[in-house]
Structure 1
Amino acid sequence: MMAWEAYQQIKKHLDDCKKPLIFFDDDPDGTCSFLLFYRYKKEGKGIPLKTAPKLEVSFAKFVKEYGPDKVFVLDIPMIDQNFLDAVHEMHIPVVWVDHHTPLERRYVEYFNPRKENPSDSTCTTANAYYTIISDDPEHSEQKKELWIAAVGGVADWQLPEYMEEFAEKYPKLLSKSIVKSKKPEKALFGSPLGRIVKILSFTLKGKMGQVMRAIKIMTRLEQPEELLEGTTSRGRFLLKSVEKTEEQYNELLKRAAAQRSEDKFLIYTYTDKESSYTKEVSNELLYKFPNKIIVVGREKGGELKMSLRSKGIVIRPLVEAALQGVEGYGGGHEHACGACIKMKDVPLFLDQLRKGVEEAEKQKKVTK
């Protein structure tokens, strides 16, 4: 995590604005980050990024249309300098809170734990939670949002420091033994809290109008049981809305798992459907098959959008190296990456990735 002074600076940015516009990644980490900020501020507007993990200059039109007094960017790995230039010309400050590989940008207040410690990948949800409780970490009224912070943290395969407190407060949702195991995958796939993560993830699928309606409802939830058990009309609506999505996901997961072989790689691709499940399917496949390199791709518009996962090998530099001579982009975390490659270049990308993995495994054997 960052120093408390950094969180207090972010909180001051929140406190000093009246009409914030918040861009956020449309995965559970980004969404929970937004929920924490919005529920604290109770003002402003959120826009999830459902295209690419990059805030391009085209999004400046939303800033111009809404007319905010401050822009926040949460859990989005890349921002085009052209976007920042355009917003700067509108005389609107930008605050960027992220935990991916740090970038050099102008005209932005940039908060990223990796700037001080490259190995500190504390998820954006945790950073958002620490922000809203930063005035009084022990007794803040905002600790009522602990359950949202727990959902976003576990969704990003992390068990932040506050998870012990969560397990104490919600023992039916997460056991202390799982927290002590320091294995977030157990929380994600072996606890009721993990079920809430999956429900949240499914609500973020589909068309923008449906997603925005679901997010609006989530800003009003008071307890995690609403999502898990449908104890309120709000919760029941969200549970009903994900039934079809969950059926599609389970079918994809079943077909993907069937691709398992003696190969070090487990690769599964599918053609365009209404929603993308590559992140969720790749995560669960890694849990089921931890010794595999997982590649799940969705073909759309002449491109293959992939989620890549590995437990034992740091794949981010291998993914970046595999992009050489390839039309596309990619990156992410040490063990979880995304890539978007033109279909004509997918064989080359995968071949170069295989060679990179083979070389990494040789190096591991040499150093043992």
Structure 2
Amino acid sequence: MRLTLGDFARSAEARLDPAIWDFFEGGAGEERTLAANAQAFDRWWLRPSVLRGADRPETAVKILGRAWDLPVGIAPVAFHTLAHPLGEIATARGTAALGSVPLVVSTFAGRRIEEVAAQRGDVPLWLQVYCLRDRSITRSLIERAENAGFEALVLTVDAPHLGRRLRDLRNDFRLPADVGPANLAGDGFRVPAAHARAEFDPGLDWSVVDWLRSVSALPVLVKGILTGADAALAIGAGVDGIVVSNHGGRQLDGVPGTLDVLPEIADAVAGRVPLLLDGGVRRGRDVLAALALGADAVLVGRPVLHGLAVGGAEGVTDLLTILLDELTDAMSLCGLRTLADITPDLVRPVTSWPARPGAERSGA
């Protein structure tokens, strides 16, 4: 029986090839940032209020004018087909079964974006964008996504190249012959880090936001912001949303966990655009902590791959259902009837935390 996201992770590890598991789970360098993402949530207590009549909390939120059934979306992760043959198709089906839960589809998805869009139901689809040296390739992908009904672009800004991921180097990781980026032509993808060195545009600056607006009418979010100063620059560049992210600890090791920098960025944003966070969310109460510290919603990445590996579309639905159940349970016990009831007073820093038997925290 799987009752937590940690249960899904353990089941997925038992099913996946060790090198693929390391590709999913590994971080850059010594993986300090990978660990910090999860550990950051353990540094906050929740402070419940009682007798609030919160027996049936409402988890809905509106982002960019679109209603979500809960303040959780699916972060962009490449090659879902490494976890399940149907890849992003199964992810879309599993997400749609739960309701309106957004799915951010990676540039390096293992299934065509048109196939994914056909399975979306009421799921808002966003396209994650790596801006390549050949802008015509990026433009073509964006045009296809817009024609398929995608609703926003999420520009990843923390990856002029891929970080030094030691697990992949030790494993000499290469994509299997039957897995690749279904939406990009050509070859050279077998070693992801080498492909990124050759094809990613390392010279990007804030003018790329204007370029995206010149090729698409879709809202533009930037993903990879870790300082208030960069958040202010992003708003100055005219972005429609910000994702606080360190790429799941997979780019620069030694940067803080995303929850640790969220308050600074929330102060800089001051409610002017939607503010999302990814990295380390593994429990419903983690979602509450992120919202109390300034996020409008969170994204989860690796756990979705765990659900795929365990049970395909049904596994994704089951995993998201657990997260929803944990969220509503935590809201009720905290006296929160709606997400609007969440304020900074909901959390306080932990000064001491007892040892935890059977800890289940890992990843980002």
TM-score normalised over the length of structure 1: 0.32
User: Structure 1 or 2: larger helix share?
Assistant: 1
Query: Larger relative CO (CA 8 A, sep 6+): 1 or 2?
Result: 2
TM-score normalised over the length of structure 2: 0.32
- Specify the structure having the higher radius of gyration (Cα): 1
